[in-house]
Structure formats: C-alpha cells, structure tokens
C-alpha cells in the first residue's frame, strides 16, 4: 500500500469533518477555506457556519489501519496519518460528538502514527477524552501546533510544552508554515521566562545568579518549516529558514524543510513584473518598503528586518521552487515516526 498524499511529512490525511474559521495570519490564505468555497460555496466556514461531516473519513482510517502491516512491510515503518487537513480537531464550533467519534477511531487504529495538528492548543486539554487527560494519552499519537511568527511562538509553545509534560505526550512538533517572519525558538513565556524550547530548559532573566538552567521543561521533538503556496502566497526570506535549520542542528532536533512555496529566493534576470525585491527594511520608513508587483497586498504580514540580507524572489510556483535549502533537502523526522 503506497502513500496517498503529496504532503512531504505524512503518508495519509484523514478528515472526519470539514469547516473551520480563521484564527491568525497563518490562516489568511487557507487552502481548506478556498476548497470549501469551491465545492460547498463556503457554507462550512466562519464562526456561525455549520461544519460538514466527511462521510468517508472513518472508513478511510479503518482501511489505513487494516493495511498498516503491508505498509510496514513495504516502507519499514508504520503509516503516518495527518489529522486533519480540512478542519481543526480542537475547533470550538465542531460537534463534541464528532470529536468523541474521532478519538475512538484513533484508539482503534494503534498501528497508525497520528500527527494531530492544531492552531488551538489552548483548547486541547478540555476537549480530549477524560482517559487521555488522566494518564492515558495514546502512545501512537503526537501533537503538533502551527506557529507562523514570534508572537505565536511565545504564546503557544509554552502551552504545548506544558501539555506534553502534563499528559505524557510521546512527541510534540511545530509546523512553521507558512513562515511569515523570523522565529527564535528561545521563546518568552507569559510568566516572563525564557524557554529554550528545543532543549527543554528555562532561564529566568531575573535570576540574580544568571544561572543558565533555571528549571527543566518538556522539549520540542520536531520542526517543520515551509513557505506559502497558492495564488496569494507571501514569500519566505531564506534567512528565516536557515535560522530554524541552524537552531535545530545545534539542539539535535529533527528538521524538515517542506517547501519554498510559490516564491523562490535568489538572484534572477527576469522582467520586473514578476520580480519581488526585498531590501533590509526600516518598517517606519515607507520609502523603503519593497515594491511587490505593484500590488500592496504582498506587504501584508511580512516583517523583513534590518538584519535580513537583501534578497530577490521570483514567483515560479510551488513545484518549480522545490525544497532545496542551501544545496540539500532536509528530511528529519522524530524517532516515533520512523
């Protein structure tokens, strides 16, 4: 049995329902919303919109589980299953009964390696089954969150690490896609502690001794990074991806570079209308803002900093842009998924 999806970090996607609402800048160009608009006139999107059951979801998961052994023979590992690409498992507007069905189906598929990805980490504890919250988190389920800039990293990574420690989650990961700004994984929690999230070490800046290690925390086990795809995609500065790669390398954390997305960086001899030129920008000086196809929407959400090196981008499409960073593919996975 071969993989079903082209997403580089998984083998299968499974959705028990469809529908969601935007919760941050990473959602601006949501693929699932665009798809829902195309096939269901957007009926399942937004705060008041009913979510739609995906009838084939449970049967698909049962089949993946049934075929897991032959998948293992073919690939030497258990199938990775991404939940959910068309919704968010921890969406407040999704039916609690549907969520219970999903958790039961997960428990009935122990040979799948689940990658549960959410942008609502604050909802996880109150929405999981009581057994999961009381020491019974399944060993074949990992939890991932999406963060796209430093603000989200500071807000959500400490919550993810708390959950990992509290619920004994076997592995946790970050999906930094679309990457919209540089991110330092030494995050500052709401308590004012600096947490080196890749090492699982907190440093208290008010500690008079300046001790390196203030207390131990859980740590991040996996980092995925990628630029945005789709017609309205925003470019990802290569320095941002390099920095993540280097932070992971130093901490010996698996790093997967998923894609450049629509825009590829480099020096190009191309007509000006398809070239996007990013300079080190002083955001307070509008004269220095980059020109982007003459269309100001491209400036949204970008935080090119004075420290970013000058870079030209060409819009070539996701496939042509590929996934080579400084001459190599980066295909790290946590041990639990290998």
Residues at the site binding ligand SF4, with contacts judged by CB under 6 A: 20-23, 27, 30, 32-33, 87-88, 119
Cβ proximity to ligand SF4: between 157 and 198 the closer is 157
Helix and strand counts by DSSP (H, E) for the chain: 9, 16
Radius of gyration of the chain from its Cα atoms, rounded to whole angstroms: 21
CB of 89 to ligand SF4, least distance (A): 10
CB of 35 to ligand SF4, least distance (A): 10
CB of 296 to ligand SF4, least distance (A): 23
Cβ proximity to ligand SF4: between 88 and 262 the closer is 88
CB of 222 to ligand SF4, least distance (A): 19
Which residue, among 124, 48, 50, has the nearest Cα to 83 in the 3D structure?
A: 124
**Coil, helix or strand for 146?**
strand
CB of 32 to ligand SF4, least distance (A): 4
Residue keyed to tokens 């945005």: 228
CB of 21 to ligand SF4, least distance (A): 6
The number of beta carbons lying within 10 Å of the beta carbon of residue 208 is 6
CB of 135 to ligand SF4, least distance (A): 29
Report the distance separating Cα 42 and Cα 38, nearest Å.
Answer: 7
DSSP string across 249-318 = HHHT--EEEEE--SEEEE-----GGGEEEE----TT-GGGSPPBTT-GGGGTT----TTSPPEEEEE--H
CB of 183 to ligand SF4, least distance (A): 18
Report the distance separating Cα 184 and Cα 246, nearest Å.
Answer: 11
The number of beta carbons lying within 10 Å of the beta carbon of residue 94 is 22
Measure CA 64 to chain center: 23
Cβ proximity to ligand SF4: between 224 and 281 the closer is 224
Token pair listed for 119: 């942008």
Distance set, CA 56 to CA 20, 36, 59, 82, 195 (Å): 19, 17, 5, 15, 42
Cβ proximity to ligand SF4: between 89 and 336 the closer is 89
Is the torsion defined by CA of 232, 247, 90, 79 positive or negative?
positive
Report the distance separating Cα 188 and Cα 151, nearest Å.
Answer: 9
Cβ proximity to ligand SF4: between 42 and 110 the closer is 42
Cβ proximity to ligand SF4: between 148 and 218 the closer is 148
Cβ proximity to ligand SF4: between 12 and 78 the closer is 12
CB of 203 to ligand SF4, least distance (A): 31
Beta strand ranges found along the chain (DSSP E) = 12-14, 17-18, 52-53, 80-83, 113-118, 141-146, 172-176, 186-188, 194-196, 201-203, 215-216, 222-226, 255-259, 263-266, 275-278, 311-315
Cβ proximity to ligand SF4: between 23 and 325 the closer is 23
Cβ proximity to ligand SF4: between 21 and 259 the closer is 21
């Amino acid at each position: 049995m071969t993989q079903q999806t082209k997403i580089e970090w998984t083998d299968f996607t499974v959705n028990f329902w469809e529908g969601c609402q935007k919760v941050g800048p990473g959602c601006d160009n949501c693929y699932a919303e665009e798809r829902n608009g195309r096939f269901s006139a957007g009926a399942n999107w937004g705060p008041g919109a009913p979510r739609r059951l995906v009838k084939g979801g449970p049967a698909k998961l049962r089949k993946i589980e049934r075929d897991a052994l032959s998948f293992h023979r073919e690939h030497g590992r258990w199938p990775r299953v991404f939940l959910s690409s068309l919704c968010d498992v921890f969406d407040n507007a999704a039916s609690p009964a549907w969520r219970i069905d999903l958790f039961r189906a997960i428990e009935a598929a122990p040979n799948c390696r689940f990658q549960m990805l959410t942008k609502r980490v604050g909802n996880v504890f109150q929405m999981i089954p009581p057994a999961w919250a009381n020491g019974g988190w399944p060993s074949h389920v990992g939890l991932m969150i999406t963060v796209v800039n430093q603000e989200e990293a500071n807000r959500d990574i400490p919550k993810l690490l708390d959950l990992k420690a509290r619920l004994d989650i076997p592995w946790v990961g970050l999906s930094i896609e679309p990457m919209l700004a540089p991110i330092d994984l030494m995050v500052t929690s709401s308590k004012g502690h600096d947490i080196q999230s890749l090492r699982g070490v907190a440093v208290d800046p008010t500690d008079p001794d300046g001790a390196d290690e203030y207390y131990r925390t859980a740590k991040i086990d996996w980092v995925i990074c990628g630029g945005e795809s789709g017609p309205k995609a925003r470019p990802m500065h290569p320095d941002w991806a390099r920095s993540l790669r280097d932070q992971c390398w130093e901490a010996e954390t698996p790093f997967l570079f998923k894609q450049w997305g629509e825009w590829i960086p480099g020096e190009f001899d191309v007509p000006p209308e398809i070239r996007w030129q990013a300079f080190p920008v002083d955001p307070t000086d509008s004269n220095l803002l980059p020109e982007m196809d003459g269309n100001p929407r491209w400036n949204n959400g970008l935080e090119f900093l004075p420290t970013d090196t000058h870079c030209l981008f060409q819009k070539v499409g996701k496939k042509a842009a590929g996934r080579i960073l400084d001459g190599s593919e980066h295909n790290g996975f946590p041990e639990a998924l290998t």
